[in-house]
Amino acid sequence: MTYAIYMYMSFSLKEGENMIQVFFYILIFFIGIYFGSFFTLAVYRIPKGENITYKHSYCPKCNHKLGLLDLVPVFSYIFLGGKCKYCKNKIRIRYLLLEVLTGLVFVLYAMSLKISILYIDIKLIILLVLGMLYFTGLFIIAGIDKENRTIQKSVLIYTQVIAILYIVYSCTFQHNNVYGYVIYLAILAILQLVDIVFLKRNLKYEYSIQLITLFLTMLIFSKEQGAILTIILTILAIGIRNIILKLRNTKSKISDKKISTQPAFIMCICNIIIIIMANIITNYMIFK
């Protein structure tokens, strides 16, 4: 009888812990969809030079200022039937998909770190925050590159700042050697100097330099193995994508130049996948 009571109490306690953990992931998901809503705004406004913090949200079709209930991620899109409440123009479904995707990515990242809300580890919480901020930069870079085939310098600098914060975290909590990071930072500084001094007169090389800068930033955050795997996965993804596009567009005679665009977009997505997968392998010991 005593054993049965003990087992029941243990089961109830475990069930309670699981419920709390689920609520934690739900909270992360809602944070993610709000970030996703911000990404759509940033991708639209940053290339236009518009303010992304103080300027009120508006419909790009009719320029009507959006109300508070119009700005609830996912739910506003569903309740409004995918249309602007004021001009009735359709809202692109990709906005909804990006919000949901961001929420799912944030949840997967939190799960990959194996964070327990009942046994809070401040190091993991800091890493979670840094990871979400880093993913923010990658999502915005990917979105802008997909729309305009350009890597926005301001967003690239933002990701570098997050990478530097990660270096501080890594050396403080993980006791990693700072000298390797110094080399990466020195190369980044040289690339920035080249960008400022040389590329003003040679804009056609600017994208390539920024792509290398993005890779070095990934090298800091996802380490050598993760960065190399990111490049391999990116090359495979671009190759598969180009083959599919050529097969689908043989009759329309699409140009090879058009097919081969958006490497930064694909590289950012691949890096997010690699980071999450690396955490899962490390923390859940799949292959051990």
Q: What is the pLDDT of residues 72-121, one digit of tens each?
A: 777 777 777 777 777 777 877 888 888 899 999 999 999 999 888 777 78
Q: Are residues 161 and 270 in the same domain?
A: yes
Q: Is residue 128 part of a domain?
A: no
Mean pLDDT over residues 173-197, rounded? Answer: 78
Neighbours of 190 (CB within 10 A): 10
Q: Are residues 57 and 158 in the same domain?
A: no
SS3 content of the chain, % helix, strand, coil (to 5): 75, 0, 25
Q: Are residues 87 and 176 in the same domain?
A: no
Q: Binning pLDDT at 50, 70 and 90, where does residue 241 land?
A: confident
pTM (2 d.p.): 0.85
Give the gyration radius of the chain's Cα atoms: 22
- pLDDT tens profile 115-125: 887 777 899 99
- Give the span between the Cα atoms of 40 and 66, in whole angstroms: 15
Angle at 255 (CA atoms; ends 254, 256), nearest 5 degrees: 120
Number of domains in the chain: 2
8 Å CB contact between 106 and 135: yes
Q: Are residues 49 and 158 in the same domain?
A: no
Q: Binning pLDDT at 50, 70 and 90, where does residue 233 land?
A: very high
Q: Which domain holds residue 206?
A: 152-288
Q: Is residue 135 part of a domain?
A: no
- pLDDT tens profile 125-166: 999 999 999 999 999 999 999 888 888 888 998 999 999 999
Q: Is residue 183 part of a domain?
A: yes
To the nearest whole number, what is the mean pLDDT of the chain? 80
Please report which residue ranges of 174-255 form alpha helices under DSSP H: 178-197, 206-248
- Give the span between the Cα atoms of 99 and 96, in whole angstroms: 5
pLDDT for position 131: 94
pLDDT at 33 over 50: yes
Q: Are residues 183 and 262 in the same domain?
A: yes
Q: Is residue 2 part of a domain?
A: no
